[in-house]
C-alpha cells in the first residue's frame, strides 16, 4: 500500500524517500537505482568535474531510468570555489525534477529553477536557515539534525532531529522532509507522525547492491562492531562541521583542531576529496580517508537492492503507523 504525501504528489514519485547528496557516490548508477525503486534518486552535482560533465551525467541517468530524479548542489567555502552559477544553469536547462540545495542561499537561483519547472528542496540544519529558505519560496525544506552528515551549530549545542523536526513541522508552512541519520521504517513512521512528508537517506543507500562503491566498504559497514557510535564530527573549527566515519584520519583531524588555531595546510592532505574518491572506487580502505557518515550506520546490517530496501522501509513505516494509531482507544462514552 503506497504512502501519499506532499512529496510524492509534488514529484509524482511512488514512495516518500529521497536519496541525499553523496560525494563521489551520487553518480547516475546510484540515482537511477533509487528512482527505479520508486524513490527520488539524486546526482551529486559537485562530484562532476565541471558543469558540462554534470549535463552529460544527467543525460546518462536518463538512459538508465524514465522516472524523476534530482541533482544536489552543495555550496561550501572552498579555496577554489566551484562555478556554482554554471552548475545551477545546467540544472535548469536539463529540467531535472528537483534540486537539493545545501549550504547556500536559494535566493540567487530559485527564479531560474522554478521557471524551468525544477522543484527546490532546501537543506537546513537550523531553524534560522529554514525560515530564510521558506521566505525565498522553496518548495520543500529538509531538516537535518546533529546525527546526520551535516552537523550545524556551535560545538556543544548542536540540535538533534528529535527537537529540530518537531519544531520545524510545527513552525514552517512549507512541507518538511526529515533528513540525516535515517535508515529504517520506524524512522519514516516517526517522521510522518511528526508531520513531515518524507525522509532523506544517504548513508543507508551506501549499503545497497547498486551503490557504485567498493564492496569491501559495504561489507565493513554491516559488521556488528560498526555501530551508532562509529562516527565523529570534524572541521567545526573551520565553520564547516561535518559528521564522518571515525577512523585514524578523522581522529587525526580532531587532534589538529583540538590544538587550537587550525593550520589548514595540516588538515588539507587528510581531508582531500581525491583521497576519499580513491577509497570509494579503488582501495575500499575505510580507515584511510575522510568520509561522510551519519549515525544511521548503527542501523545497517545488510546490503539489499534499492528496491528491496525501499519497499521494506515503506512496509515497516505502514505497520508502525498502524500500530501507533491503534494506541488511540475510542472513548467509552
List interacting residues with its own copies (CB under 8 A).
1-5, 16, 126-127, 145-147, 153-154, 156-157, 159-167, 169-170, 180-182, 184, 186-187, 189-195, 227-233, 246, 254, 295-296, 298-299, 318, 320-325, 327-331
Report helix, strand or coil for 187.
helix
Shortest distance, CB of residue 156 to its own copies, whole angstroms?
Answer: 4
Q: Calculate the CA 29 to chain-centre distance.
A: 16
Shortest distance, CB of residue 248 to its own copies, whole angstroms?
Answer: 15
Q: Give 196-244 as a DSSP string.
A: ---EEESHHHHTSTT--S-HHHHHHHTSTTS-TTSEEEE-GGGT--EEE
- Closer Cβ to its own copies, 285 or 318, answer by number: 318
d(CA 116, CA 94): 9
Question: Is residue 68 within 8 Å of 11, Cβ to Cβ?
Answer: yes
The residues pairing with 44 across neighbouring beta strands, listed in sequence order, are: 72
Residues 6+ apart with CB under 8 A from 110: 120, 136, 137, 138
How would you class 239 by CB atoms within 10 Å of its CB: exposed for 0-12, middle for 13-18, buried for 19 or more?
A: exposed
Shortest distance, CB of residue 162 to its own copies, whole angstroms?
Answer: 4
d(CA 235, CA 90): 30
Shortest distance, CB of residue 332 to its own copies, whole angstroms?
Answer: 10
Amino acid at each position: 500500500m503506497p504512502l501519499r504525501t506532499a512529496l510524492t504528489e509534488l514529484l509524482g514519485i511512488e514512495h516518500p524517500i529521497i536519496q541525499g547528496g553523496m560525494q563521489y557516490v551520487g553518480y547516475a548508477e546510484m540515482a537511477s537505482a533509487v528512482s527505479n525503486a520508486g524513490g527520488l534518486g539524486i546526482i551529486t552535482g559537485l562530484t562532476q568535474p565541471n558543469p558540462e560533465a554534470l549535463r552529460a551525467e544527467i543525460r546518462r541517468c536518463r538512459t538508465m531510468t524514465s522516472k524523476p530524479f534530482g541533482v544536489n548542489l552543495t555550496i561550501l567555502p572552498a579555496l577554489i570555489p566551484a562555478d556554482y552559477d554554471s552548475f545551477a544553469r545546467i540544472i535548469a536547462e536539463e529540467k531535472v525534477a528537483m534540486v537539493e540545495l545545501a549550504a547556500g542561499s536559494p535566493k540567487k537561483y530559485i527564479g531560474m529553477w522554478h521557471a524551468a519547472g525544477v522543484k527546490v528542496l532546501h537543506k537546513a540544519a537550523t531553524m534560522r536557515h529554514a525560515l530564510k529558505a521558506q521566505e525565498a519560496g522553496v518548495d520543500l525544506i529538509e531538516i537535518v539534525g546533529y546525527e546526520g552528515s551535516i552537523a550545524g551549530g556551535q560545538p556543544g549545542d548542536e540540535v538533534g532531529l528529535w527537537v529540530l523536526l518537531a519544531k520545524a513541522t510545527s513552525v514552517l508552512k512549507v512541507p518538511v522532509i526529515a533528513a540525516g541519520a535515517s535508515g529504517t521504517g520506524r524512522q519514516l513512521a516517526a517522521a510522518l507522525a511528526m508531520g513531515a512528508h518524507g525522509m532523506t537517506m544517504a548513508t543507508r543507500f551506501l549499503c545497497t547492491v547498486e551503490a557504485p562503491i567498493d564492496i569491501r566498504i559495504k561489507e565493513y559497514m554491516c559488521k556488528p562492531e560498526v555501530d551508532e557510535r562509529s562516527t565523529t564530527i570534524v572541521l567545526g573549527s573551520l565553520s564547516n562541521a561535518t559528521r564522518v566515519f571515525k577512523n585514524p584520519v578523522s581522529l587525526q583531524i580532531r587532534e589538529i583542531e583540538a590544538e587550537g588555531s587550525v593550520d589548514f595546510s595540516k588538515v588539507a592532505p587528510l581531508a582531500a576529496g581525491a583521497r576519499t574518491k580513491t577509497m570509494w572506487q579503488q582501495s575500499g580502505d575505510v580507515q584511510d580517508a575522510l568520509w561522510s557518515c551519519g549515525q544511521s550506520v548503527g542501523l545497517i546490517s545488510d546490503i539489499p537492492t534499492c528496491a528491496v530496501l525501499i519497499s521494506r522501509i515503506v512496509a515497516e513505516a505502514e505497520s508502525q503507523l498502524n500500530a501507533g494509531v491503534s494506541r488511540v482507544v475510542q472513548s467509552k462514552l
